[in-house]
Amino acid sequence: MSASEKAKAKTEQTVGKVKKEVGRAVGNERVAAEGESKEAKGDLRSAKEKSKDALKD
């Protein structure tokens, strides 16, 4: 996995998780949903990079 893509994926996952938890803590469903989608986007980016690495080997 390229280092920059790995960093982007980890950042998206972390920001999404924080945003989701903050949204839930303050009772804002919209912010929580945005956080969940951002976290999922990071998960997908990570999975994409892992599959690209697997195909290289």
4-42 pLDDT, tens digit each: 888 999 999 999 999 999 999 999 999 999 999 999 999
Q: What is the pLDDT of residue 55?
A: 86
The DSSP-derived string for 1-57 is: --HHHHHHHHHHHHHHHHHHHHHHHHT-HHHHHHHHHHHHHHHHHHHHHHHHHHHH-
Predicted local confidence at residue 54, as pLDDT: 85
State residue 56's pLDDT score: 82
